[in-house]
Amino acid sequence: MWTSLLVLVTAAALTGAACLWGLRAYKRAGGGEASPAPALISCALISTIALLTYLFVGRPELPDAPYAARLEALKQRDPRSYSAEEALAILNEAARERPEDPLPHFYAGQLLLGQGRAEEAARAYDAALRRDPRSAEALMGLGRAMVSIEGGVVSPEALAAFEQASTLTNDPAPWIYQAMAAMERNDESAARRLWGEAYERMPIDDPRREMALRMSQGLPQEER
């Protein structure tokens, strides 16, 4: 995407340089009494038309072809065959078609977070939450994205998202992140309580269950 934008900016700069070069040549040739304005206006008009054509037809997410035709071709394919950029293009289109629907933004956040694009994911989750403030899944996604941005640290903003999510779902994950935040601030009592809350919400076959129990009892994870 950024490569395509760079090409667009470069093309615009070259067009501007061409206009200036034409004006300079006109003056050196002794352009007489005629005004150079018509030539410059023509250059500006051509540049504007080229830019609008790119914005309406060109999309960096997909191979070159008319945008509507490319999207329609994508919709006929098995979604499991989409590349990440193709899936994002479909989700962006769905978000435009259904501006009040939080799901396209949420799924875009999931995809972006899975790709390690945490800042973009956070923006997508935030867009989902503006449409559905009580989405536990979007709150969890936003919290995880912020933890990733902070290099694994549960920031106060991420903690607030996890705390709100814990009131909306029985998933143990919000409690795990709250426990991690308590451990980061060396609050052992709160950490043990929060690990216990996570443990109580874990199904019997959850592989984290033994670890959560030990942490709730104040035992090192590796102790047998």
Domain boundaries, the chain: 1-6+46-65, 170-224
pLDDT at 96 exceeding the cut of 60: yes
pLDDT of residue 77: 80
Q: For residues 157-178, give the mean pLDDT.
A: 97
Which run of H or of E encompasses 95?
helix 84-97
pLDDT of residue 46: 60
pLDDT of residue 202: 97
Q: How confident is the model at residue 40 (pLDDT cuts 50, 70, 90)?
A: low
pLDDT at 195 exceeding the cut of 70: yes
pLDDT of residue 81: 78
CB 79 within 8 A of CB 87: yes
pTM for the full predicted model: 0.67
Residue 109 or residue 61, greater confidence: 109
Q: How confident is the model at residue 59 (pLDDT cuts 50, 70, 90)?
A: very low
Which run of H or of E encompasses 151?
none
